[in-house]
Structure 1
């Protein structure tokens, strides 16, 4: 935790950081993306766990849609950690923050499955 804390809000976000660190090494979460005027999309986010916050972590996001979408991207580990911290504490219905989805649309491209 000591390595990530300075990049992830310090002591004020300690509980959120501990929550994410509990599943970080598993390298996977499942969640739902709520949409305003459409049914929600389920997703599966996988990443390569790393030990240092500035290391790049490779990620794959699979979205259950018609047609299915897959995004491959790499980000500094601390950035992914912050997005996961901002997604709330409901592990049964994880919802990544809007700024993650905005970044994804602007920075990463979808792959054909």
Structure 2
């Protein structure tokens, strides 16, 4: 996808998002559920996820209604914004976290 976007030479992110949206709509899937997986790698600190008013955060909230799963790969859970953490259904932590860091992450995600 990145190569396609670079090839199109979009001048701003809005045009890029519009292109992606139109492209996805053009596939006109007939099956339901769509059974789609969107993987965002090293995307946690991206400006599109920093604020819940950003289009990407809004899209992430709606995708579950269309049976589209999203995986966000990050180095540390601290890099995810609170808004993104609030809409998480699952979180997988791999070795590298201390028990204190794990409990801190759990409390931040679940608000306890």
Q: When the two structures are superposed, what TM-score results if normalisation uses the length of structure 2?
A: 0.22
Between structures 1 and 2, the one with greater helix share: 2
| Structure number with larger C-alpha Rg | 2
TM-score, reference length from structure 1: 0.22
Say which structure is richer in strand. 1
